[in-house]
Chain A
Amino acid sequence: MPGLPLFWRGNEGEAIMPNATYIALIPLLPLAGFLMLGIFGRKYFKNTSGVIGTTLLLISTVLALYTAYGYFFEYGKIDGVYQKLIPLKYTWLQFSEGVSIDMGIIIDPISVMMLVVVTFISLMVHIYSLGYMKGDERFPTYYAFLGLFTFSMLGLVISSNIFQIYIFWELVGVSSFLLIGYYYDKPSAVAACKKAFIVTRFADVGFLIGILVLSFYAGTLDFNTLIERLTSAESTEFKTAVAASFMGMSALTWGLVLVFIGGAGKSAMFPLHIWLPDAMEGPTPVSALIHAATMVVAGVFLVARLFPVFAISSPDALSLVGYVGAFSALIAAVIACTQTDIKRVLAYSTMSQIGYMMFALGVSKYGGEDGLGYTASMFHLFTHAMFKALLFLGAGAVIHYIHSNEMKDMGGLRKYLPITHITFLIACLAIAGVPPFAGFFSKEEILLAAYQSNQSIYWVALITSGLTAFYMFRLYFSIFWNREAHVHGEHKGEGGFAMMMPLVLLAIGAAAAGFIPFGHFVSTDGARLETEFHLMFSIAPVALGLAGIFIAMWLYKKASDKPDKIASSLNGLYKAAYHKFYMDEIYMFITQKIIFNLIGRPAAWFDKNVVDGLVNATGNGTKDISETIKGLQSGKVQQYAIYFLVGVIGLALLFIYWWN
């Protein structure tokens, strides 16, 4: 029966991976939470929904860690190489011979790593929200949406089929939409959620067409088969895909570039980044989970998933990834230096750090030592998830306390929020790349990879790392030092155990994650990659980072008018950066003026007046004609006789004319 072909395939791993059904539970438990809380939450779990959601996710996290342990240390490796295992696959929609959407699970180093990251960060956010969202009117709905998001994101990372990843990709998009618009009576939140959805949807069209192109040439939608066919120079699929060209680029490159557009949309790469800062309208823990640590790295993950095809078959597409990443990293860092809303600073910093991950992939090659960029990118994804989630949750604690997002309302909070202060400092040191915190190690590897393959990207990255240190410490000093904030109202303190425990756990991660020998686990070809530490090479970035920190300290540790003076001396540049280089305005112009007024309005007008006008004209015309000719049917025999005579004469003349 073709309907339900539930079959098992462990590539070579069947024997070594005895029972992997439980992996399906990792995403399914949060889904169960979504359904339960979404349908019955408001009635039956008004107060307990947080605990239910968190418990389900705790189980998922434990299973993810168990999977990771088993994969990395027990069965994942054959002859020193980590394998791609498919423990579960099931045909969902068969299009034609060989082309089908399968729902499957792929277990390989990056998917296992992502399982751990997503479940762990999501768990932290679940716990944190128990305190942060307490007393919220729509508490069950909140946890339902968190469950939906976690399910979609986990489904995305374990997808074994390119269309499957697209399905979860869209689901991730919609759960992000629902969570950004969580405070639905706030017009700004409504606008932000629409913007996020539509901008990423626009990018998704690229992804979709990319999928169509790639699957057409590869004759499959299955990742493993697709990568295999499109990377071996002998395969007929590869040859036709490279031979077919359109506007000077091979079809394969087109396909990959289009897929990358999708990735760039989700990962907020320039120029598709405009939705990310506005997405901060959602509850702060949501920003930590979705718009900092997990969903926004989906684009990086997508490129990493298809990395062999990019690296082996289409270096052009890969270098595009590199340049887009580097440019985004720089421009976001510049904008971040000027923003005053602390969540927006963090949003731009996210964009900048994802830029790092992207260009790290862009400068990488496939196999062995040359694959350093790939490992570094994934490493940075891992460490970034820790410290960025920490930064957002810390910012949440600050906002919770001060009831404002604006830097000018803050200052001197180190006395009131000691734990938040220390953990936030650790996160800042980590993102600034100060040894021995996590960000230092991953960023160092990225810079090294860039240095070895593309000097111009290296210099951009170096400057960006200085800027990063500056704006992060500008943020840090403005919140916790500077002038005393006007603390009013009741003092709730730091928000209790539920909010502080995640901060402490993430701070441990942000401090220590750098010591994981990442190359041993994640590399382009699955083999062990030894990453060396070069002391001489580290001097430049660390020195720049420290310089950034000291400048920020000099400017912002004590309240002064120095920052304003500098801002006004930079006049034009500062203004442009403050206004995010007018990207929003440009988009507004294109959508409102061009699409609405030049396409939408004329289409509606045309339909109403021309097409429908013709229909009405036909109707009226028919009526008019019948009005006119009904006089002919007068019933007078004499009149008919005259018509008859005229007709006969007319015909006679016609015949005579023809005969001659």
Chain B
Amino acid sequence: MNLSLLILLPLLTAIVILLMRNAAQVKWVALAGAAVQFVAAFVLLFQFNHQRALGDKAQMLFETQYNWFPSWNISFHLGVDGISVAMILLTAFVVIAGVLVSWNVTKMTKEFYFLLILLSLGAYGFFISLDLFILFFFLEIAVIPKYLLIGIWGSGKKEYSANKLALMLMGGSALVLVGLLGIYFSGTEHSFDLMRLSQLNIPVSVQMICFPLLFVGFGVFTALFPFHTWVPDGHSSAPTAGSMFLAGISMKLGGYGCLRVATYLLPEGAKEYATIVIVLSVIAILYGAFATMMQKDLKYINAYSSVSHCGFVLLGIGMLTKTSMTGAVMQMVSHGLMTALFFAVIGMIYERTHTRQVNEMSGLLKRMPFIISVLFIVGLCSLGLPGLSGFVAEMTVFVGSWEHPDTFRRVATILATLSIVVTAVYILRAVTKTSMGPLTTGFEKLTDATWNEKLAAVILLAGILAIGLAPFWLNDLVGPGAEIIMNKIGK
């Protein structure tokens, strides 16, 4: 499969959207585009597995390379391994679900869908780039639409949140850029090419400086403590699809960058700073969980819980074992699906009740059995119930972390496992309070999900169950990629 398709498809969709005359046309074009992306992602998965089954052992498959800026050694270099394929699948799931739940957006529909599709373009480009310069280019493409999505279609203190989010993410990108330039100028051969750089040995002194820059820079995207405060405000102000894209896709750009760029290219730095990474991720896990416990707004609950859940991604990376890294990637996919669904459900509830305050609703199960059942399932996924994706990912991180016999990592792992109780507390509190008990007066006329909402929920649930019930396919997909990264790091 030609990977350029993954960039061209959204680009084409975006252009066609601009040509449409009315909102209905825009919506259907966006949905068709998202559906084609969805199919393309599956075709990629099957072709990838097929190629691997044929015995193709190359690190990256479907590589394509076009000269772009020869004088600076920048080329349009694309390719995927199992990790990228997993992330592409995640993006495709979230995009189609996001398009579906936005069906009722009436304000500037064309621009809204254009930005959504543009965001997906940035994400796909990011995940398939093998050249650091275009990787950075796509990272930026994925940031700008978020600013507009929140600033225009958001709610609450949207200007503040949009500014905060954009500035913090731009700050993160700036650090990434500095780190990338540091790598570029480090050796005698100036290159942005990921595959080339992985063969060159970047001097240890450069690694010591660039690793923190890159890790923190990408870490801002994935809610690395203490750079996570854009998450709650950004999510709560964003429109439903915006939150879904933000948590489901954007936060994963950071995790992917930490793994693919920072850790893979700078193994010495990764080893040197592992302790700090572990400490920060354990803080994020527990502190995020405890902070969630005190939230009263459903969106804040999910946003803070995302800080906690993304902590597992960073913990998995910081533990530097093959199993824990596989777990980190699984957690990215799982959290992406789960949190997108969670935000979708919150959006559905909000559209009906016009409140997101947990204390202002109760007994919703009676009026909207479908939506609340989905809320239950996604809540159970969040607290790590077996059979759903969260369990698989978290357990893989735990088992991988436990492979180290030293006390520090043991203690860190034990502390991280404690979060499963806190998670249970806040999830059950939120879910039971809203859905059980006597029905709030005034909510007697509420209606259950519409076709587009049901379809969105079913698509994301299918993803969650596919990982939760049969995790081996994802494990087999991601594992070899993690192993290559680990081989570079060595024991």
Are A181 and B471 in contact, with the CB atoms below 8 A? no
**Is A96 interfacial (CB 8 A cutoff)?**
yes
What's the least CB distance linking A460 to chain B, in Å?
Answer: 31
Known: A3-B476, A193-B432, A607-B287. A208 touches B417 (CB 8 A): yes
Complex: A604 Cα to B286 Cα, angstroms: 12
**Is B395 interfacial (CB 8 A cutoff)?**
yes
Known: A212-B413, A607-B229. A99 touches B475 (CB 8 A): no
Which residue of B229, B392, B470 has the most chain A CB atoms within 10 A of its CB atom?
A: B229
What residues of chain B lie closer than 8 Å to A601, measured between beta carbons? 294
Known: A170-B386, A209-B414. A194 touches B437 (CB 8 A): no
What's the least CB distance linking B404 to chain A, in Å?
Answer: 10
What's the least CB distance linking A569 to chain B, in Å?
Answer: 42
Contact digits for A577-602, partner B, Cβ 8 Å, 1 yes 0 no: 00000000000000000001001110
What residues of chain A lie closer than 8 Å to B228, measured between beta carbons? 611
What residues of chain B lie closer than 8 Å to A612, measured between beta carbons? 229
Q: Main secondary structure on chain B at its contact with chain A?
A: helix
**Is B256 interfacial (CB 8 A cutoff)?**
no
Could you say which of B168, B365, B400 contacts A95, with CB atoms under 8 Å apart?
B400
Are B471 and A93 in contact, with the CB atoms below 8 A? yes
**Is A91 interfacial (CB 8 A cutoff)?**
yes
**Is A18 interfacial (CB 8 A cutoff)?**
no
**Is A132 interfacial (CB 8 A cutoff)?**
no
**Is A163 interfacial (CB 8 A cutoff)?**
yes
Complex: A323 Cα to B159 Cα, angstroms: 62
Which residue of A194, A215, A607 has the most chain B CB atoms within 10 A of its CB atom?
A: A607
**Is A44 interfacial (CB 8 A cutoff)?**
no
Known: A171-B385, A601-B294. A181 touches B399 (CB 8 A): no
Known: A92-B472, A94-B472, A612-B229. A209 touches B417 (CB 8 A): yes
**Is B408 interfacial (CB 8 A cutoff)?**
no
What residues of chain B lie closer than 8 Å to A174, measured between beta carbons? 380, 385
What residues of chain A lie closer than 8 Å to B293, measured between beta carbons? 596, 600, 603-604
Question: Which residues, 155 to 179 on A, are CB-close (under 8 Å) to B?
Answer: 163, 166-168, 170-171, 174
Are B291 and A604 in contact, with the CB atoms below 8 A? yes
What residues of chain B lie closer than 8 Å to A187, measured between beta carbons? 437-438
**Is A528 interfacial (CB 8 A cutoff)?**
no
**Is A561 interfacial (CB 8 A cutoff)?**
no
Are A615 and B164 in contact, with the CB atoms below 8 A? yes
Please, which residue of chain B has its CB at the minimum distance from the CB of A212? B402
Known: A171-B386, A190-B437. A93 touches B417 (CB 8 A): no
What's the least CB distance linking B373 to chain A, in Å?
Answer: 9
What residues of chain A lie closer than 8 Å to B420, measured between beta carbons? 201, 204-205, 208
Q: Which of B19-27, B173-181, B202-210, B422-430 contacts A (4 or more CB under 8 A)?
A: B422-430
Contact digits for A83-125, partner B, Cβ 8 Å, 1 yes 0 no: 0000000011111100101000000000000000000000000
What residues of chain A lie closer than 8 Å to B470, measured between beta carbons? 92
Contact digits for A187-223, partner B, Cβ 8 Å, 1 yes 0 no: 1011001100110011011001100100110000000
Question: Which residues, 169 to 206 on B, are CB-close (under 8 Å) to A?
Answer: none
What residues of chain B lie closer than 8 Å to A212, measured between beta carbons? 398-399, 402, 413
Contact digits for B277-300, partner A, Cβ 8 Å, 1 yes 0 no: 000000000010011011100000
What residues of chain A lie closer than 8 Å to B439, measured between beta carbons? 185
What's the least CB distance linking B21 to chain A, in Å?
Answer: 40
Please, which residue of chain A has its CB at the minimum distance from the CB of B424? A201
**Is B167 interfacial (CB 8 A cutoff)?**
yes
What residues of chain A lie closer than 8 Å to B490, measured between beta carbons? none
Are B366 and A185 in contact, with the CB atoms below 8 A? yes
**Is A625 interfacial (CB 8 A cutoff)?**
no
Contact digits for B341-361, partner A, Cβ 8 Å, 1 yes 0 no: 000000000000000000000
**Is A1 interfacial (CB 8 A cutoff)?**
yes
What's the least CB distance linking B469 to chain A, in Å?
Answer: 9
Contact digits for B433-473, partner A, Cβ 8 Å, 1 yes 0 no: 00111110000000000000000000000000000001111
Please, which residue of chain B has its CB at the minimum distance from the CB of A201? B424
Complex: A83 Cα to B359 Cα, angstroms: 56
Are A611 and B226 in contact, with the CB atoms below 8 A? yes
Complex: A167 Cα to B472 Cα, angstroms: 15
**Is A619 interfacial (CB 8 A cutoff)?**
yes
What's the least CB distance linking B161 to chain A, in Å?
Answer: 12
Could you say which of B53, B164, B384, B479 contacts A619, with CB atoms under 8 Å apart?
B164
Please, which residue of chain A has its CB at the minimum distance from the CB of B322? A96
What's the least CB distance linking A49 to chain B, in Å?
Answer: 15
Known: A91-B472, A93-B392, A212-B398. A198 touches B421 (CB 8 A): yes
**Is B63 interfacial (CB 8 A cutoff)?**
no
**Is A497 interfacial (CB 8 A cutoff)?**
no
Are B475 and A184 in contact, with the CB atoms below 8 A? no
Complex: A347 Cα to B194 Cα, angstroms: 63
Are B417 and A205 in contact, with the CB atoms below 8 A? yes
What residues of chain A lie closer than 8 Å to B290, measured between beta carbons? 599-600, 603-604
What residues of chain B lie closer than 8 Å to A168, measured between beta carbons? 386
Could you say which of A1, A101, A190, A205 contacts B418, with CB atoms under 8 Å apart?
A205
What residues of chain B lie closer than 8 Å to A599, measured between beta carbons? 290
**Is A489 interfacial (CB 8 A cutoff)?**
no
What's the least CB distance linking B413 to chain A, in Å?
Answer: 7
What's the least CB distance linking B278 to chain A, in Å?
Answer: 16
Complex: A99 Cα to B385 Cα, angstroms: 21
What's the least CB distance linking B320 to chain A, in Å?
Answer: 14
Known: A3-B473, A611-B226. A167 touches B386 (CB 8 A): yes
What residues of chain B lie closer than 8 Å to A215, measured between beta carbons? 399, 402
Are A2 and B428 in contact, with the CB atoms below 8 A? no
Question: Which residues, 221 to 235 on B, are CB-close (under 8 Å) to A?
Answer: 226, 228-230
Complex: A357 Cα to B428 Cα, angstroms: 32
Are B436 and A185 in contact, with the CB atoms below 8 A? yes
Could you say which of B164, B403, B472 contacts A96, with CB atoms under 8 Å apart?
B403
Chain B residues near A (Cβ < 8 Å): 53, 163-164, 167-168, 226, 228-230, 287, 290-291, 293-295, 322-323, 363, 365-366, 369, 380, 383-387, 391-392, 395-396, 398-400, 402-403, 405, 413-414, 417-418, 420-421, 424-425, 428-429, 432, 435-439, 470-473, 475-476, 479
26 A/B residue pairs, CB under 8 Å, sorted by A = A2-B476, A99-B399, A166-B386, A170-B385, A170-B386, A170-B391, A171-B387, A181-B436, A193-B432, A198-B424, A198-B425, A198-B428, A201-B420, A201-B421, A204-B420, A205-B417, A208-B398, A208-B420, A216-B402, A216-B405, A600-B290, A604-B291, A611-B226, A611-B229, A614-B226, A619-B163
